[in-house]
Amino acid sequence: MADDKPDEQTPTPENATILQAFEWYIPDDHTHWKRLARDVQKYSDMGITALWIPPPCKASSPSGNGYDIYDLWDLGEFDQKGSVPTKWGSKDDLLELSTAADDCNVLLYADAVLNHKAAADKTEKCLVVEVDPDDRTKTISEPYEIEGWLGFDFPGRGDKYSAMKWHWEHFSGTDYNAANEKTAIYKIQGEFKSWAQSVDTEKGNFDYLMFADIDHAHPEVKKDINEWGVWLAKLLSLRGMRFDAVKHFSEDYLREFLDYLKANVNEDFFFVGEFWKDSLADMTAYLDRMQGSKFSLFDAPLVYNFSEASRTESYDLRKIFDGSLVQVRPVAAVTLVMNHDTQPHQALEAPIEGFFKPLAYALIMLREEGYPCVFWGDLEGISGEFKEEPSCGGQLPDIILARKLYAYGKQDDYFDFSTCLGWVRHGTWDKPAGMAVVISNAGPGEKRMFVGEEHKDEVWTDVLGWQEGEVKIGGDGFATFTCPGVSMAIWVKDDAPGRDQFGGFKAGVGYGKDE
């Protein structure tokens, strides 16, 4: 039954959904900001409320995705590292995207890469010790001098926006000695120099990840990054940030950075970290340490559950949320099916068979718990050498739309059979339609479920059109809902508001070059 009508001044807010608005192999044609600006209205109409955009800062090359970050302050404005624009486009294009998103009431979350810097402008001599790659707390050499790529002068930008130049003392480690062309993990020596202690303890101390590792204890580093964060947030009207590789850099500094942003930009800023580890205990401990920061993490364990479920015959779907972050900390869980790191042929690849993608998206999009994030590669397809068509038979937009229109109110679960799950959303006073979902990873699924006596004699159909026929709700509010084998169905009243919108969004049209 829909919730009793409360104060009409507090309408039910629209469900929030993030789109990760990129994938690893998007062409390096420098037009992606234009692409997103062109399509942001479409995404808003579909039910996307926030875009997570890729790192907007200058990378080590015109093809770099931004995780090989060179200059925080260059958003595609200066002739550096082979081009003026970034892979994604120019600064002007980015500003136009910001305006377009704001016009469509779509929030922007930027990807912040704060762990390291790449493609230094010159080498600098510094004192180091080598450490054991498998235990960075163990020193395996006497101190000696190397020539590291640690000098950043930003000749194309000069002093615009920031006069800071980066030198060896601003870093805690590197991995290459230009003097003898030797690769190792070098811990930089000097007064007050150390690996950050508030990092993950994998490999003894996981401060060092790649390139020139930033020393966030250095006061000049803190000042520059803090000021950059406020500048970027205000310039792009950001409402949140995604932090890359948070288990590799100082939690103490990150809390300081979050506080600085909230104090100088927006108290309600949204923060999510990539703490990619299949360990619920480590993730919850991290969240505990980020106390009071309103911090979220991507639900990595759930992604691995999806991968296992898709590759295990007759997997027990009742266990799909076991060990996941969304099960124990739903308010702090950003749920997802795939991202740029887990997509095919990437470092953290977590294969999910195509048949299971719709079921996985139903489990994150159509339920109460978690803040779901849709992957661009599933919505628009994957480009390049490993090209893939959009997932879910091109109907992922319809699953997103079903969340926008009907996934509200009290949730009743029917998790009573290992290969077939069902649940009902009962709607709210101002969004009363409700919905019934059935998923199966084996043969055809069937669930007798209660949707409410107020729906008696209504005719419900599957908005996806995958399950043919119709269901008439009984006088007792019950009906038997079905889905095809190894598939799903989303049942809603056949004339519910918005039913005419399904099938109206074309997936896979996001790659065309915007001239």
Active site residues: 244, 274
Q: How far apart are CA 366 and CA 364, in angstroms?
A: 6
DSSP 204-253: S-----SSEEE-TTSHHHHHHHHHHHHHHHHHHT--EEEETTGGGS-HHH
Torsion of CA 514, 51, 227, 276, to 10 degrees: -120
Q: Is 92 left (phi over 0), alpha (psi -120 to 50) or beta?
A: alpha
Rounded CA-CA distance 401/502 in Å is 8
CA distance 478 to 486: 24
117 in Cβ contact with 99 (< 8 Å): no
Give the C-alpha separation, 95 to 306, whole Å. Answer: 37
Contact (Cβ atoms closer than 8 angstroms) between residue 362 and residue 437: yes
How is residue 209 written in tokens? Answer: 């990840």
Count of other CB atoms within 10 angstroms of residue 156: 16
Judge contact between 17 and 365, C-beta under 8 A. Answer: yes
C-alpha of 137 from chain center: 31
Q: How far apart are CA 215 and CA 189, in angstroms?
A: 12
Q: How far apart are CA 338 and CA 351, in angstroms?
A: 9
| Measured CA distances, 159 to 114, 155, 227 (Å) | 20, 9, 14
Question: How many Cβ atoms sit within 10 Å of the Cβ of residue 511?
Answer: 18
Report phi then psi at 335, rounded to 5: -90, 145
Rounded Cα gap, residues 285 and 355, in angstroms: 34
At 142, which amino acid appears?
E
Between the CA of residue 7 and those of 4, 167, 261, 431, 515, what are the distances in Å? 10, 59, 34, 14, 49
Query: What is the residue whose two structure tokens read 């099938």?
Result: 503
